[in-house]
Structure 1
């Protein structure tokens, strides 16, 4: 009996070796199918296109199956399957205690006594002074010219050799409500920062500016009427800091928009990047053919009739740029003895899902 067992053991071991070999061969085949492992460039591109096409077809099939299941459930009077919400960085952000709530009475009481309340209550009209840093690039004046067409009641004053504190004193005497300083990089000759100072008591916000696109570089851009007050849209300023920055931006614009001017200025906050866009509404008449199946929709000659519809679309006016808050300082600008409400530091970026605005 012992000899019989010894004879069977090699057979069992051989079967296990064969199974392992088959599984290894299957894994090797899958590994060989990866486009990145194909050395021939043309073959690699062909296999990659095929895999991508198969994934696209499979995705369409799954989407169609979900739509069919939803329709079937509605026809049978059943509850449709829940709509799947994709996981994004925004809806999986880290919890923040400073997020504003609709029933936060302390927040609304503070709004009535902050530095922007007089402008936002329309007790004073905003009056903006725009200037530059001491080094002015070639793109600086073009950007300022477009800022003057975006912000009503804005005035440009040449910086010259004056210090910023002297400019703040002059602006207070002339009853300006805010100062915007456009900074440029001496090396790259590009606009790279904005400094917004609320007068007379601050605060001062320092923003990094990137991805600037001027109006002339935007395809099919519109030319707005700078004399009309635009409608202001602020999105996703949800925290206490974001609420304060939003009110600072809001104080730059009049609070009585002229809707017939059809202008919209948007500051959209997403992942602490503030995207600026400037649009205007365009109303156009479009002719569409009436359905040919309807015999009454044909004239005496048997031709299809057309009907005119009024459609609305957005036309971008520019400029287009992105802001990122670097610091928020108490009072007006003071580089040496100023106290900061908030400063962005590299060690604060511990997670991609942590936002401050």
Structure 2
């Protein structure tokens, strides 16, 4: 687990240990707390655990204490979850793990010293961190990155590699529009220490010869889908282009995808955004600089798909139609409608991916090999375009 995320989990446990200390003081398990809720206007409160009135000296509870409920723990979890960029499913899982551990600790400490010791606190912290690590281990993330030979290729892949090196259990599928892999890309991938596949998928000749816009990256992404169908059974995949910029919080969130998740992408067009529109917590449409009658007018960097969901749709693929690649692929996942989209990035209120697009450059000038023979320039020139 990343250090920042682990610190967030420790902070979360710290909040919940306050509840734990309270429950130890009065011998009440967390799963018994909802029984303490009652209508203040109805008069006598109900009996607590073991048939003892909750307002007796045995509990010594005030009305404020009685309002401490499991829902408050869930609220604390949700607040820390959002601040650390976690998805809703992992929040639910961590809440259940915390409640389970606190109940175990409470039961184990009944009749014993009521002081909160370091050992159960550390046990709870370790348990929650382990739960988050287990969640990531069981939900691999497949990142499909189409690329092609150009001056910007290795610099952009280098930047992206260092982002992915911060992500747990990621498998990077780097797929070149070429007939043979580029050696510089292979060398880079080997240095990263990431789990990766270096594949090739050249654009079909009939599309290369067409005038106007070309369906770039389509053969690469379809090759990635082919690899996933043959090698993956669980997890989530994401089409992540090498010229984009990503907040690492995004990868924690998309790992929770059950079918298809979406979020805002920044700086795509003159509109500045491509995103689902959310009102009162509900999806109501799309905002994009180029709607073009698309059912799913979204950016390639703005959605992720469950591997299981893909495998249930063996015909799903990306069309060789410039401008309609995302729309065509998402429609091929039918049955699937916009109303089923899982909204991430705090209900699509945060920008965690940017369609930055590096400025296109001309290849570097040829090197005078006679003039610079036996110098470092010969070796350096081999590493750039």
Q: Which interval holds the TM-score relative to the shorter structure?
A: under 0.3
When you count helix as a share of all residues, which structure comes out higher? 2
TM-score of the superposed pair, with normalisation by structure 2? 0.19
Larger C-alpha radius of gyration, 1 or 2?
Answer: 1
When you count strand as a share of all residues, which structure comes out higher? 1
TM-score of the superposed pair, with normalisation by structure 1? 0.20
